[in-house]
Amino acid sequence: MRRLSLIFGLLSLLIVSFLSFRGKSPEQPHGQNFTLSCEKCHNSSGWKVDQSKISFSHDETNFSLTGQHKEVLCKQCHPSLIFKDAKSDCYTCHTDIHDNTVGIECSKCHTTNNWMVNNIHDIHRNSRFPLLGAHALADCQACHPSASLLHFKVLGINCIDCHLTDYQGTTKPNHASAGFSTNCNDCHFIHAFEWGTSGFNHEFFPLTLGHNIQECGKCHKTPDYSSTSPECFSCHEQDYNTANSPNHLNSKFPIDCKTCHTLNPGWKPSTFNHDGPYFPIYSGKHQGEWNDCSDCHNISGNFKAFSCIDCHEHSRANTDDKHDEVKNYSYNSNACFNCHPRGHAE
C-alpha cells in the first residue's frame, strides 16, 4: 500500500511538473499570467463552456472572428487551452493545398466566408500579370496546368513563355524566318482579343481611313515585312502617274502625297491650302460648286491659268447690268478675280 501511495505521489508530481513546463498548473489551466476573469467564459454551475454564452469578445485580440471562424469551437484553435500559444496565421490551421505555389497568405485570394474565389481578375491585377484582352477569357488551367488543378506555379510573364508555339507556327508572315521580335507586344496589343490586324500594333504607320487595310499582303508583297517602304510613292506611284484632274505627272507635283492629301478615302479633299493664299474653294460661295480642278484651271498642267467666266457665262447679261456703272469693267476672268479675289461681292 505504501508503494502504491508512492506511485500516485510520483505521478502527481510528474503531472504538476509537466503542466508547469507547459506554462500552466491545475489552478491555472490557461497558463501563467492569464488575467481574464473566469466568468467571461465560465459559470458557477461547472467548468463546461457554452460558447453561445461567452461574454469575451475576440475583437480584444489581434484576431477578430469573422465568417466561418465564428462557428469554430474554441478548442479547435486552442487545443492546449493556453490561448497565447495560438497563431494568427492561416497555414497553422489550414493545410496548404496549393503547396506554396501562391504563397502562405490565404487572405490574398480567400475570405473567411468560404473558399470560393470569385475575383480572379482583381487578384491578377495586383500581380505581375494583369489579365487583359484575350487573357481575361482564358481558363486558369490553360496557363496553370497541374494534376490536382490546385497548383499555380509561378510562370514567366514574357509573351514568348506561353506563345512560342504561336510564334513558330505563324506563316502569314513567317515570324521565325523574318526574324521578328519574340516580344509579342512589340507588334500585338496585349489588350487585344485576336492576333489579326485589329490586334496588331501598327502605330508606327497608322492603319486608319484610306489605310484601313485588313489584308497585310496588299502592302507587304514579300515575306520580309520590314522591307516595305513607308513612303507614299512606293505604294501610290500608279495613282500619281494616272491622276489627270489635275495631271500630277505633267504638272510635276511633289511625289510626297501627304503634301496635299489626307488619309481620307478617295484622295478628297486634298489638303492643298487653296483657301488661304489663293481662292476659297473649300469655303464661301464656291464651296461645293466644282467637281474637278479643271473646272477652273482649264489649261492642263498650268495652274497659274484659271477661268471665272467658263462657269459664270450663263449670267453675263445679269453681270453686265450690275456692272454698268463700274469704271473699266470688263467681262473676263482676270477682271473678275482682280475685283473679287475672295469670290464674293466686295
For residues 210 and 235, membership in a common domain is answered with: no
Residue 15 lies in a domain: no
pLDDT for 222: 76
Which contacts qualify for 199-207: CB closer than 8 Å, 24 or more apart? 199/133, 204/230, 205/230, 206/263
Expressed as residue numbers, the domain containing 135 is: 97-156
257 CB-contact burial (10 Å; exposed 0-12 / middle 13-18 / buried 19+): buried
For residues 105 and 140, membership in a common domain is answered with: yes
Structure-block grid coordinates of residue 71: 462557428
Task: Examine the fold and report which residue of 112, 136, 156 is the final residue of a domain before the chain moves on.
Answer: 156
Q: What is the 8-class DSSP label of residue 61? A: T
Residue 299 lies in a domain: yes
Residue 186 lies in a domain: yes
Task: Examine the fold and report which residue of 33, 65, 85 is the final residue of a domain before the chain moves on.
Answer: 85
pLDDT for 9: 46
**Alpha-helix residue ranges (DSSP H) falling in the chain:** 2-21, 74-77, 120-125, 140-143, 159-169, 175-178, 232-242, 248-251, 309-312, 316-322, 333-339
For residues 162 and 223, membership in a common domain is answered with: yes
Residue 12 lies in a domain: no
pLDDT for 8: 45
Task: Examine the fold and report which residue of 55, 85, 115 is the final residue of a domain before the chain moves on.
Answer: 85
pTM to 2 decimals? 0.48
| Cβ neighbours for 29, distance < 8 A, ≥ 6 positions apart | 81
For residues 164 and 220, membership in a common domain is answered with: yes
Residue 162 lies in a domain: yes
Query: pLDDT tens-digit profile of 109-152?
Result: 899 998 888 888 888 888 888 888 888 888 888 888 887 888 88
| Count of residues in the chain | 346
CB 110 within 8 A of CB 96: no
Residue 14 lies in a domain: no
Query: pLDDT tens-digit profile of 37-53?
Result: 888 898 888 888 888 88
For residues 210 and 252, membership in a common domain is answered with: no
For residues 131 and 176, membership in a common domain is answered with: no
pLDDT for 58: 92
pLDDT for 65: 93
For residues 69 and 113, membership in a common domain is answered with: no
pLDDT for 198: 59
User: Which residues of the chain are modeled with pLDDT < 70?
Assistant: 1-27, 196-199, 245, 301, 314, 345-346
Residue 113 lies in a domain: yes
For residues 223 and 237, membership in a common domain is answered with: no
Residue 116 lies in a domain: yes
Indicate the number of domains in the chain: 5
For residues 147 and 202, membership in a common domain is answered with: no
pLDDT for 19: 45
Q: How far is 293 from 281, CA to CA, in rounded Å? A: 10
